[in-house]
Amino acid sequence: MIWASWSDFFAMGGYALYVWGSFVVICGCMAGEVLLLRQQGKSILAQLVNARAANAPHKGEKQ
């Protein structure tokens, strides 16, 4: 272990703002991207399901 204590680890030798500012934003962006994509996937699927439901009664009339 290169750190004397957890508080030393979080202090990052005085550079805490810069180091954690970088890592937190990176994790945030990646997590955000994953969540956003999940949301988009659900919304596209919902749109397609609705479109199919809207078409179904019309198909019945064409007999």
Q: Which residues bind other proteins (CB under 8 A)?
A: 1-3, 9, 12-15, 17-19, 21-23, 25-26, 29-30, 33-34, 37, 40-41, 44-45, 48-49, 51-52
Identify which of 46, 40, 43, 39 has the alpha carbon closest to the alpha carbon of residue 54: 46
In the complex, least distance from residue 63 CB atom to other proteins, rounded to whole angstroms: 19
Query: Which of 1, 57 has the CB closer to other proteins?
Result: 1
Kindly state the helix (H) or strand (E) to which residue 51 belongs, with its residue range: helix 16-61
In the complex, least distance from residue 61 CB atom to other proteins, rounded to whole angstroms: 19
What Cα–Cα distance (Å) separates residue 27 from each residue in 15, 34, 61?
A: 18, 11, 53
